[in-house]
Amino acid sequence: MQMKSMWWKRHWRPKVGWGVPVAWLTLCVVWSSTWLVIKIGLRELPPISYAGIRFLLAIIVLFAVSIGRVRLLPRQALDYAVLAFTGVLMFAVNYGLLFWGELHVSSGLAAVLQATIPIFGMVFAHLMLPDEPLRLRRLVGALLALGGVTIICERLLGFNGWMAFWGGLGIVFGAAGAAFSNVLLKARVIQLAPAMIAGWQMVFGAVPLLVTGFVVEGNPLRFHWSGLSIFSLFYLAVIGSALTFLLLYWLLHRMTVANLQAISLVTPPGAVALGWAIGGEKFSLWSLVGACFVLAGVWMIFRKTKVRDLAIQEG
**AA identity, residue 299:** W
What confidence score (pLDDT) does residue 202 get?
Answer: 94
What confidence score (pLDDT) does residue 270 get?
Answer: 82
| Alpha carbon distance 108, 123 (integer Å) | 25
The CB-based long-range contact list for 12-21 (8 Å cut-off, 24+ gap) reads 16/254, 19/254, 20/251, 20/254, 20/255
- Where the chain has pLDDT below 50, the residues are 1-15, 306-311
Residue 28: C-alpha distances to residues 91, 263, 264, 265, 288 (Å): 21, 6, 8, 9, 20
**How many other C-beta atoms can be found within 10 angstroms of the C-beta atom of residue 20?**
14
Return the percentage of the chain with pLDDT > 70, whole number: 84
Model pTM score: 0.82
What confidence score (pLDDT) does residue 283 get?
Answer: 72
What confidence score (pLDDT) does residue 310 get?
Answer: 46
| Alpha carbon distance 232, 77 (integer Å) | 36
Q: What is the pLDDT of residues 180-233, one digit of tens each?
A: 998 888 888 788 888 888 899 999 999 999 999 999 999 999 998 999 999 999
- How is residue 53 annotated by DSSP? H
What confidence score (pLDDT) does residue 156 get?
Answer: 67
